[in-house]
Amino acid sequence: MIELKKYHLWVLGCQMNKSDGERIAGVLQSCGLKPTLKEAEADLLVVVACSVRQAAIDRIYGKARQWEKRRGSGKLSTILTGCVLDLDKNKMREFFDLIIPIKDIKRLPDFLEKKANLDLAAASYLKLPPRYGSKFQAYVPILTGCNNYCSYCVVPYVRGREISRPAKEVMAECQWLLQNGYKEITLIGQNVNSYQSGRYDFPELLEEIDSLKGNFWLRFATSHPKDLSDELIEAMARGKHLTPHLHLPIQSGDKKILQAMNRHYTPGQYLKLVAKVKQRIPGLMISTDVIVGYPGETKSQFNNTAKIMRQVLFDMVYINKYSPRGGTAAAKLADNVSWREKKRREKVLNGILKRTALERNKKLINKTVRVLVDGWKQGDCFGKSDTFKTVVFSGDQKMIGKFVAVKIISAGSWGLKGELV
Ligand code: SAH
Ligand code: SF4
């Protein structure tokens, strides 16, 4: 084993992976390793992989070939963790010195032949103290894994069954964050709505965190439409710290495709749900995920997705081209929508989004919004509004990490420009 001093973390994929990366950083730093943002400076490279789409896996193969020379000459050790299918694990073995499931990261010090300045007896890896990537924004995992088995999705296979984190632990992490001046807490899980720990379901957990003292925003992701309860809507509406933003993945606007995807709701039910939440929470912003080119998706079925996008007027849509994932139910079906056609469908939806997002953003002109500043460049402050809109305005670097009031003066599809009030 080479003497390890500096590590570089390469995280692909979702918020959950980012949060896992923070726990890995916690373990590595407790072993005396220092982080570096420059891969070339590192003698340890840790990859937190994402298997949701093939593209991320391809990127790892691409990079692995580049680092093989340094690894071959004994200057680099490599570790792979995160979401990886067994199939990919076998193919990637030659590029990594260690492939380790995320729930076993407390074994890292043994592998590194280091002593950790940390209590590693924790039963769950989520108990390991994270090294947060920010001093004012934090992801707090409340649940890992997923039991939903949407036909296209690899998550239940790579993350396993749903496990809720004890409410006491979640509360303790949130309390610590608030005592240390954090301004934004995002509770994360593949389907936060199915959280259950002792007497706490998700709305009750939200209410409990919302009642904590402090000047902060409380966000969460992701909600499955089939499980979005009236109690959750009430908790969102009543919460002092909860923000008026809901990420509610629709995936398709076609009844038959939704059924084939095993999503357990119809387009009609989704529309009713959106109307109900919007009525209870005025000014609510809604974002969603969509998949185009699911096996067998006809043009008219795709048009139903385009239609529902025009109806809902989403604020943001993450559009994904379907890619078959080994082991999932959909992988057994012919991936029969061509790449070109998937790209065309993506472009059509992007065109709709550009118009609806602009229409929605224009409604904020002349309104004053609260913004948490998270960046600064050449006299411009950047941040997100409570409704999760990107806002730019002239300001001071010292405003980073602070809430400010900004009057919106102009709007584009992807963001807003404003003036400090
Ligand atoms: N738990 C979340 C999403 C997890 S994956 C939910 O229930 O919505 C994030 C997004 O990736 C999904 O919403 C879906 O739109 C997309 N996705 C998942 N599997 C995919 C696949 N095989 N091909 C293309 N997109 C996929
Ligand atoms: Fe995947 Fe469906 Fe679970 Fe989301 S709810 S992680 S899309 S299986």
Average pLDDT over residues 98-123: 86
Residues 172 and 82 in one domain: no
| Ligand 1 atom closest to residue 150's alpha carbon, by position in its atom list | 7
Residue from 291, 292, 294, 346 whose mutation best tests the ligand 1 pocket (most atoms within 8 A of CB): 291
* Separation between Cα atoms, residue 367 and residue 314, nearest integer Å: 20
Looking at the predicted structure, is the pLDDT value of residue 123 above 90? Answer: no
Residues 383 and 339 in one domain: no
Residues 118 and 13 in one domain: yes
Average pLDDT over residues 203-231: 96
* Separation between Cα atoms, residue 320 and residue 261, nearest integer Å: 14
Residues 345 and 409 in one domain: no
CATH of residue 412: 2.40.50.140
Residue 146 CA to ligand 2 centre (angstroms): 6
3-state secondary structure of 13: coil
Note the ligand closest to the C-alpha atom of 156.
Answer: 2
Residue 213 CA to ligand 1 centre (angstroms): 35
Residue 52 CA to ligand 1 centre (angstroms): 6
Q: Is the dihedral of CA 129, 133, 138, 139 positive or negative?
A: negative
Residues 252 and 373 in one domain: no
Looking at the predicted structure, is the pLDDT value of residue 92 above 80? Answer: yes
Structure tokens belonging to residue 82: 């995160």
Residues 352 and 377 in one domain: no
* Separation between Cα atoms, residue 84 and residue 98, nearest integer Å: 13
Residues 117 and 237 in one domain: no
Residues 310 and 327 in one domain: yes
pLDDT of residue 122: 72
pLDDT digits (tens, 9 = 90+) for 324-353: 999 999 999 999 999 999 999 999 999 999
pLDDT of residue 35: 96
**β-strand pairing of 34-35 with 380-385:** unpaired
Residues 101 and 216 in one domain: no
Q: With contact defined as beta carbons under 8 Å apart, do 352 and 313 qualify? A: no
- Boundary residue ending a domain (122, 150, 169): 122
CATH of residue 307: 3.80.30.20
Q: What is the DSSP letter of 130?
A: P
pLDDT digits (tens, 9 = 90+) for 145-180: 999 999 999 999 999 999 999 999 999 999 999 999
First to last CA, the chain: 57
Note the ligand closest to the C-alpha atom of 264.
Answer: 2
pLDDT digits (tens, 9 = 90+) for 345-360: 999 999 999 999 999 9
* Separation between Cα atoms, residue 182 and residue 189, nearest integer Å: 20
Mean pLDDT of the chain: 95
Residue 217 CA to ligand 2 centre (angstroms): 26
Residues 145 and 176 in one domain: yes
CB within 6 Å of ligand 1 — which residues?
52-53, 152-153, 155, 190-191, 222, 224, 249, 251, 289, 291, 320, 322-323, 325
Residues 186 and 45 in one domain: no
| Ligand 2 atom closest to residue 153's alpha carbon, by position in its atom list | 1
CATH of residue 74: 3.40.50.12160
CB within 6 Å of ligand 2 — which residues?
146, 148-150, 153, 155-156, 190-191, 224
Q: What is the DSSP letter of 166?
A: P
Evaluate whether residue 136 is within a structural domain: yes
Looking at the predicted structure, is the pLDDT value of residue 1 above 70? Answer: no
pLDDT of residue 307: 98
The boundaries of the domain holding residue 353 are 130-361
Q: With contact defined as beta carbons under 8 Å apart, do 128 and 23 qualify? A: yes
pLDDT digits (tens, 9 = 90+) for 271-322: 999 999 999 998 999 999 999 999 999 999 999 999 999 999 999 999 999 9
* Separation between Cα atoms, residue 278 and residue 288, nearest integer Å: 15
Evaluate whether residue 1 is within a structural domain: no
Residues 373 and 326 in one domain: no
Note the ligand closest to the C-alpha atom of 318.
Answer: 1
